[in-house]
Amino acid sequence: MPTTSPAKQIVSLEMAQGLLQKAATPANWQLTPERIQQTLERSVAHRFANALPNDARTIQGYLDSLHASDLALACACSNGNAGAWDFFVAQYRPELYRAARAIAGEAASRELADSLYAELYGLREVAGQRKSLFDYFLGRSKLTTWLHAILAQRHVDACRRARHTESLDDDSDSGDRVSLAAPTPLASDPERERYLAMLQGVLLAALGTLEAGDRLRLAYYYVEGLTLAQIGRLVGEHEATASRKLERTRRDVRKQVEAALRREKKLSDAQLRLCYEYAREEWPFDLTQALSARE
């Protein structure tokens, strides 16, 4: 199991017990508050890496935002519990195959999905202990979203290995072959922060190109929470006109964002979908400054 983090002092067993009760896991999964506490410590340490909070209320608020059932399932599967694994295979295998087809196409989808099971179970050992990929799931996103991210990254890694291998001479014995084929290291929440940072950057850039009236409508709607009727009165338009212009602006912004992510960030359709999935799971952007209605 992973080592504990400095967050141990503020993630109590009572907090872990609360999450375990919220998850309502079957008794035969044999999960204990102590085991859940280990994962919560790592999740809190990862979330508050720059400034670990000192008050229990902030920590509890973060724990309440986690996907408790998914986190408990990941912990039980990491432990190698047979009942949890049966549940995971029955519930998630069809989704894994569907996601793999969307990412890699029909021909390569089954191999891509099936190759993930060994890593999830943890055939690799570190310091004499089985290392499961589930240990890296921290509950901030849905388990399906996290699995999609891993599948997408594995597909990218495979494409890179194929390109590097094809570019080498057949008779080359260079040690570079091994280093070029090495997969990208897996972060604790794979690619999430990178995707969200890219999405935020291109979104702010797109908002910066809008005309003043379009920015004002967005600000009234998203920052100040006004209704379409209220916005219409403030900008001197009929409610239907304000609605139509707001929808047009949203559509234009989305087109700009997607074009920038594909052109500048070189994201595939699958990676683009992941950006949106992460943002929908937990909207992380404060657009107050970018859309100030008082400018």
- In contact, 117 and 65? CB cutoff 8 Å: no
Closest CA to 144 of 281, 1, 285: 281
Instruction: Tell whether the torsion through CA atoms of 243, 245, 249 and 255 is positive or negative.
Output: positive
Quote the CA–CA distance of 250 and 267 in Å, as a whole number: 21
Task: Read off the tokens for 285.
Answer: 């952007």
Helix, strand, coil proportions of the chain in percent (round to 5)? Answer: 70, 0, 30
pTM higher than 0.85: no
Query: What is the pLDDT, as a whole number, of residue 170?
Result: 43
Instruction: Name the residue with tokens 């929440």.
Output: 189
Half-sphere exposure (CA, 13 Å, Cβ side) for 171? 0
Query: Which domains does the chain show, CATH number per domain?
Result: 6-166+177-188 (no CATH), 192-281 (1.10.10.10)
pLDDT by residue, tens only, the chain of 295 residues: 444 444 446 788 899 999 999 999 899 999 999 999 999 998 888 888 767 777 888 889 989 999 999 999 999 999 989 999 999 988 988 888 888 888 777 777 778 888 787 788 776 655 666 678 898 898 888 888 888 888 877 777 677 666 544 443 444 443 333 332 333 433 445 577 788 888 888 998 999 899 988 988 888 887 777 888 888 888 898 888 888 898 899 889 999 999 999 998 888 887 888 787 777 765 666 677 777 644 4
* pLDDT score at 121: 79
Give the tens place of pLDDT for each residue, 252-275: 999 999 999 999 888 888 788 878
Beta strands, E only, the chain = 125-126, 129-130
Predicted pLDDT of residue 21: 92
Q: What is the pLDDT of residue 220?
A: 84
Half-sphere exposure of residue 9, counting CA atoms within 13 Å on the CB side? 5
Write down the pLDDT at residue 197: 85
Q: Is the dihedral of CA 84, 85, 87, 93 positive or negative?
A: positive
